[in-house]
Amino acid sequence: MAEEGEWSANANDALNIGLVRPTDAGLKAIATFNPRFTYPIFGNEEQIFGYKGLKINLRYSANDMRPHVQITSKEKFKAIGDTEPTDIRAVLQEHLPAIAFSSVKDFEASVQKTTEEWKPPGELHTSFETQDGTYEIRKGSLTDPAIHQLITRVEIFVPLFIEGGSYIARDPEAADPWKVPEDAARWTVFLLYRKQPVADDAAQSPYTFVGYSTIYRFFYFQAPSPPASPAADWELPKGDFEITDLPCRTRLSQFVILPPFQGKGIGARLYKSIFEYYLANPLAMELTVEDPNEAFDDMRDLSDLTYLKTVPEFAQVRINTDINVPDDSSKAVPRDIVDSDLLDKLRRKTKIAPRQFARLIEMHTMSQLPASVQPSFGVDKKAKPTRAEAHQYRLWRMFAKQRVYRQNKDILGQIDLPERREKLNEALGSVELEYARLLAAHERWEKHYGPSSSNGKRKSVDEAEGQGLSKKARVEDA
């Protein structure tokens, strides 16, 4: 029997994804790219057994994102007993709708039929201009058949590009995994398209799919103010009502920008638009993000910090240096190192999730520290801090350390006090460096985009996505 390695192909390399448009000479690829991950589809080793010269072409019509799978190889392994080639088609059928496995002829005919009259599903939410065209953000519900169809076509990008990402538009355990899910009314979908006329064919649709995001609504219980009596029982409103008519806590679940469009600030514009929509929605009490990856975290931090600086009350946030620090470290940490009432009102007004809000406040108050004590990556010698400067820094560390401890108390509570203090200080040191990196990135962005442009309008933070931040792994998930 031949060596197994001869018949194994790297799934990330074998799978090629393309966006195509029609031309008189046939379909033309306008973008091609490979996935970041394939282990959710082909297993942890990301290997496909049984082929030589394997190519899996997953082509999409650039506008309606109709998919088509074509599998070719130079040679296929002949089964020996229980050892047989991976059934690639069967594997992909669990992740793509049936239309992806139609004939090449049907797919190409469908792409050729798309005209300039085609428009993306959903209602136009907003649009913006960049150097490479007009971008439209469209919004709709997963209950809309056209939006559900589109999401079932593109949702494979979630496991291919988001580590740990999961599907929302299909249920693999259901008899019909592709039917509209029962909780579809809770899902809002934001679609991002580039609108740019095709230079050599005005009859073609000008739309190109760029990415999308999905938002889930949780019911948000608001405690009565003033509090109700202990005997009072809260009841749901009587009669029929829509879930969309109730106060909610929203969770950003999926956020995908296709690789050809990354690094242009486009994703940050989409995030900013979503944030502003829910900020203005009186029924939305809070916007959270589900398990963000590091690249998204950076974009979110820069965008949120920039937004907070536009809120007047944010300028009042600072360390209260009038507080005395106890000499005995065993005593309780002073209260209101930063005005807690102000922070509570500000967080509710901005609808930022508690953990994210706390990080931004720590970041902001760290930026206010004197240069002699402010954490940084710099190697330049700093001036010796004054007594007042050292006091301010100590207060900031106590303030930040409270959250770090609360977030890791289950682990820290299991170790002895001396080691606990050491681990807590190590974690806080990592947080300091993380904040220093983000503050430096934010300062660079403000210097680059802060001045008014020629039309008198300030450029938006979402362009910071293209700054190419080099992120180090976090010791503490700040």
Name the residues annotated as catalytic: 290
Distance, in Å, from the CA atom of 250 to the CA atom of 279, rounded to the nearest integer, reads 11
Phi then psi for 441, rounded to 5 degrees?
Answer: -65, -40
Binding-site residues for acetyl-CoA sit at 255-257, 293
Q: Where are the alpha helices (DSSP H) in 94-225?
A: 104-113, 145-154, 157-161
Helix (H/G/I), strand (E/B), else coil: 118: coil
- Three-state secondary structure of 8-24: EEEHHHHEEEEEEEEEC
Type of residue at 121: P
Binding-site residues sit at 255-257, 293
Query: DSSP label at 352?
Result: B
CA–CA–CA angle 377, 378, 382 (5° rounding):
125
**Kind and range of the H or E element at 51?**
strand 51-52
- From the CB of residue 127, how many other CB atoms can be counted at a distance below 10 Å? 13
In the chain, the largest separation of any two C-alpha atoms, in whole Å, equals: 81
Distances (CA, A) of 264 to 132, 411, 460: 10, 40, 12
HSE at residue 381, side-chain half, CA atoms within 13 A, is 2
Strand segments (E) across 113-158? 123-130, 133-141
What is the distance in angstroms between the CA of the first residue and the CA of the last residue of the chain? Answer: 52
Find the radius of gyration of the CA atoms of the chain.
Answer: 26
Please say whether the beta carbons of 68 and 100 come within 8 A.
Answer: yes
